[in-house]
Structure 1
Amino acid sequence: MDKIAVLIPCYNEEKTIAKVIKDTKAALPEAVIYVYNNNSTDRTAELARQQGAIVRDEYMQGKGNVIRRMFREIDAQCYIMVDGDDTYPMEFASEMVDKVLHHNADMVVGDRLSSTYFEENKRPFHNMGNSVVKASINHLFGCEVKDIMTGFRAFSYGFVKTFPVLSKGFEIETEMTIHAVYNHMQIDNVIVEYRDRPEGSVSKLNTYTDGFRVLGTIFRLYRDYKPFGFFSFLAAFLALAAILFFIPVLLEFLETGLVLKFPTLIVCGFVMMAAIQSFFAGLILSNMAMKSRRDFEYRFTRVCEEERRKKFAPQSGISESV
């Protein structure tokens, strides 16, 4: 297995990919650099090969699909994932690698938001979106992750081989963060500088479409990972609605001895039954989620044992051509 693998997902990044590879070689001369070409229509793949990177193709469009392919195919003690748009200075990569290899970090976040992101980024809705996503996840999952949407991260072998990639697009970073937080993995933070894309390089991120996808991912993962909290909130909302609509019916009955709004009474009864069912669904799913956490710990231990075997296994002598 590689000691350090640098993974660069790319879609039409001919303006910047050569510089990213050169900077990576200067910062991490011992690393193996993989460029995953995601149906680029420009010279991205050609330029990456000229710079000595190993180029592979992922034909299913979307960053999540690219990351799924990368994580399946590459074995390394430490992974660095960085975008091919030259917005992250690679001189911070060595510190991130050190935290994985020598300080037991499972994921290292390249934190843009604590440095130059809000000054360099020229898209105000992206600034607001990053802040909203960060606040939402930290509040819902009880964590203090500094940058949720960063594309500059380092991972351990254990994280990569146990991370279930479910997203297809840019919401993958949110999914990574929640997976690490929920499974109590060690998350470290390295403050990195951020620079906006150079002239002629175009962002593939759609502010509104991808923003709503990210929010939908947070909603889905909170429901899946924290079912008791999710369904308890739903139960409380339904119960409150049933009580509010039932009070006028009750007051009318106490005054006249008659129930004149039978449809309202019936609907209140069904809504209260739905609230009770929601509460108990949360209890059941919470127990299932706890079992899933136990299974994950067992699987994570086996993956770590597999890493140790590969790390100390004799080299086969077979290398991949560039």
Structure 2
Amino acid sequence: MSDFDDVCVLLPTMDEVETVARVVEDFREAGLDEILVIDGGSTDGTRAAASESGARVVEQSGRGKGQAVREAVRDHVDAPYVVMADADATYDAADVDAMLEPLLAGEADHVIGNRFADMRPGAMTRLNRIGNRLINAAFRAIHGERYRDILSGYRAFTRESFLRLHLTADGFGIETEMAVECVKNRDRVAVVPITYRERPGGSATNLHPIRDGGVIIIELYRKAKTNNPLFYFGSLGAVSTGFGAMLTAYVLYRWFVHGEAHQIVAIGAVGAAILGIQLLVFGVLADMILSLHREQVTRYERALAERPAAQSSDSPSTADAEETRGAVGDGGADGDDERGNDHSADTADDASGK
């Protein structure tokens, strides 16, 4: 019997025939028998290679990595723990012990593998490295957590915590969305160092740095609307106010220097400034509402946690009450017997008197 019978390895694939069999075999050698390959419609024999290497293969109903992960965990995984990795052989299956340790110890709900801890030469281009650093810095600034490598595809999480996440991304934005949702749900997140290797020769990447990087940045900013409304509306308000200030400066310059009046531009400047101030105020109010909501959720969770303890402390009193009721019942029975005996004696005296 494997030490990881309650763990499922999830490998989303798309034309990974060159590496998928190797990845499956590496995880099996690491002691994991339950390996699920969910394929996005490969045409190069990926599904056959994965099946021959011992993996359970499912073809996803939609398109994109994000949709594949959601569908797999929701419909095809029964194990309480899930390890998610890419099938391009860039991650080391031997790191799975370190990835699972915080979960199995009950110290975390979600584990992120930090690729920058041991990134091998050629594993990431300079452009991708800079983009990753910028995205991680933006995540830290917007969402207030330092997860070091939110774009890492090597994850481990409990199935229960995953199902609590509100995920909508279909493509490579799934990792970013998972990180944001973990912050929003206040899940316990652990970051562990892993090895990140160069893709083997003949294996092509499905990642487009500019396009997917733009999608990730947009996703980060969009999620700030509910997770950090002060940043979201405040930034929009600052831009609008700044634009209004620039227009105002232009109008004043033309008026004082050239004696020209730009009434329409002046109206636009006032409108932009007013809109910006309103957005700033709305951001402050939304942030206050979010803070109150989180306080209420914390109180509710604390009350739920304290309820079993209160019930267990009440149980002895209940037992005492039952014993007291039993004693009273016994006393009543004895009283009835005594009254019965007295009645019998009175009856006997009456009979003798007669």
User: What's the TM-score once normalised by structure 1's chain length?
Assistant: 0.82
| Equivalent position SS for 1:270 | helix
- Verify the 8 A CA contact 2:143 2:227 in the aligned structure 1: no
Q: What's the offset of the Cα at 1:224?
A: 3.4
Say if 1:39 and 1:59, in contact at 8 Å, map to a contact too: no
Which structure 1 residue ranges, 5 or more long, are not aligned? 302-322
1:149/1:174 contact within 8 Å kept? yes
Match of 1:18 in 2: 21
- Fraction of identical pairs, as percent: 27
**Residues 112-191 of structure 1 aligned to structure 2 (within 5 Å):** 112-117=115-120, 119-121=121-123, 123-191=125-193
Deviation at residue 24 of structure 1 after TM alignment: 0.7
Structure 2: state its 5+ residue gaps. 303-354
Letter in 1 for 2:264: P
Residue in 2 that maps onto 1:64: 66
Per the TM alignment, residue 10 of structure 1 is displaced from its structure 2 partner at its CA by 0.8
1:261-307 superposed Cα distances (whole Å, 9 cap, x missing partner) = 43343223212221233124324544565577579879999xxxxxx
Is the contact made by 2:221 and 2:232 (CA closer than 8 Å) also made in structure 1? no
Code of the residue aligned with 1:58 in structure 2: it is: Q
Corresponding letter in the other structure for 2:162: V
Cα distance change of structure 1 residues 249 and 59 upon mapping to structure 2, 3 Å threshold: closer
Offset, 1:72: 0.9
The code of the aligned residue for 1:99 comes to P
| Distance across 2 between alignment mates of 1:19 and 1:299 | 48
Following superposition, the deviation at residue 183 of structure 1 comes to 2.5
> What's 1:242 paired with?
244
Q: Which residue of 2 aligns with 1:268?
A: 269
Conservation of the 8 A alpha-carbon contact between 1:107 and 1:156: yes
- Larger proportion of helix: 2
Partner of 1:76: 79
The CA distance in 2 between the partners of 1:299 and 1:47, in whole Å, is: 49
Distance in 2 between residues matched to 1:241 and 1:95, nearest whole Å: 50
The two structures, once aligned, show a CA RMSD in angstroms of: 3.0
Deviations 1:16-70 (A, max 9, x none): 11111111111133x4111101101122111222222111110322101101101
What residue identity is the alignment partner of 2:238?
Answer: A
Paired with 2:88 and 2:296, the residues of 1 have a C-alpha distance of 38
**Correspondent of 1:227 among 218, 226, 229:** 229
Q: Which residue of 2 aligns with 1:99?
A: 102
Asked whether the 8 Å contact 2:17–2:46 carries over to 1, the reply is yes
1:132 alignment partner AA: L
Distance 1:225 1:115, change over 3 A: same
- Measured in 2, the distance between the counterparts of 1:218 and 1:176 equals 11
Larger Rg: 2
Letter in 2 for 1:120: G
Q: Highest relative contact order (Cα 8 Å, sep 6+), 1 or 2?
A: 1
1:46 and 2:72 aligned: no
Tell me the CA shift for residue 251 of structure 1: 8.9
1:310-321 → structure 2 map (5 Å cutoff): none
Q: CA deviation at 1:197?
A: 1.1
Question: How many residue pairs align between the two structures?
Answer: 297
